[in-house]
Structure 1
């Protein structure tokens, strides 16, 4: 009997709605946003290929266009608030 290839399960993203306390900061940076995505991934960097956490926070408008990506250094309070409220990894939050 031929062996069938195993199917990998796609990781589910944690979706939810943005907490009321985060609306002013998000609206200040992204006035027309309908979705905010925080993507945290482990990558390697440098000559010795040391592991580094790469974190990006991006917003999308109603047509799905990327508005602007933010690094943690640009607005640390928003990054920390989204991480504390919604967790680590890939997080997609509807506004």
Structure 2
């Protein structure tokens, strides 16, 4: 069983991606092109990431639950420092069309 990957973003950015068909933001104010990957979290990592990136009381955010089976880009787990906990990074865009 694969672990659930999460990505925190601003609702208008996600809505724009749904229209475009792909999501290409890496983190707040940084794109996939800027970073080379999309920052993600495991469920237990998300609260700390939300505090670090958006601070307390952030509004208008959505959590994307990523179906890794639909990804065409590789996922790599990388630590911010040697020996640190690995965070999932997606090395390409996310498909953003809803099923249905």
- Common fold: TM-score over 0.5: no
Q: Whose strand proportion is higher, 1 or 2?
A: 1
> Is the helix fraction higher in 1 or 2?
2
TM-score normalised over the length of structure 2? 0.30
**TM-score normalised over the length of structure 1:** 0.31
